[in-house]
Amino acid sequence: MSDVVNVFDAPRAADEGDPPGYEVPYLRIGPLIGASALGMTVYELNEGNSVCPYHWESPEEEWLIVLEGTPTLRDPEGEHELAPGDLVCFQPGPEGAHKVTNRAAGRALVAMLSTKAKTSLATYPDSDKIGVFSSDGETRFLFPRSAAVDYWHGEL
């Protein structure tokens, strides 16, 4: 039998040092079941917490699956309350910008499923920064967009 993980029962843990409003226990499912082309993370959102800041990805496509509760989705069209069973696809680029927050009493449980590029970018329009990430976790750089330089900077 293939590796099996129950998304409702598997233990989740938050990262140390996450700021208030982003203290979210999670579990990365892909490595537990031997996945390499797709990734899925289950997030447990207590009231007032968000998965991460408003952002969009490139080149990855992401899906949000609501497993429990009524989280609020912020996207380019505004804010929308979601319900268990709701599924949303976030395309790469600005049209796929999103932030998931639990504003309701009680917890919300959501899963984010995504393609896994070897290198991906995330743009955070509210804070005007860009993140560069590798799928192996070795690369994780964040820069203010104002730090951009000309292609030939430092070469001549």
Residue 6 lies in a domain: no
Number of domains making up the chain: 1
Residue 133 lies in a domain: no
Residue 51 lies in a domain: yes
Residue 86 lies in domain? 26-117
Task: Round to whole Å and give the CA distance between 125 and 131.
Answer: 11
Which secondary-structure segment (H or E) carries 33? helix 30-33
Residue 45 lies in a domain: yes
Residue 123 lies in a domain: no
Residue 1 binned pLDDT confidence (cut-offs 50, 70, 90)? low
Tens digits of residue pLDDT in 100-120: 999 999 999 999 999 988 899
SS3 96: helix
Residue 138 binned pLDDT confidence (cut-offs 50, 70, 90)? confident
Structure tokens at 20: 């208030």
Task: Round to whole Å and give the CA distance between 156 and 153.
Answer: 7
Q: What is the pTM of this model?
A: 0.91
Task: Round to whole Å and give the CA distance between 112 and 126.
Answer: 21
Residue 113 lies in a domain: yes
Q: Please report, for the domain that includes residue 46, its CATH number.
A: 2.60.120.10
Percent of the chain's residues with pLDDT above 90? 85
The better pLDDT of the pair 30, 75 is held by 75
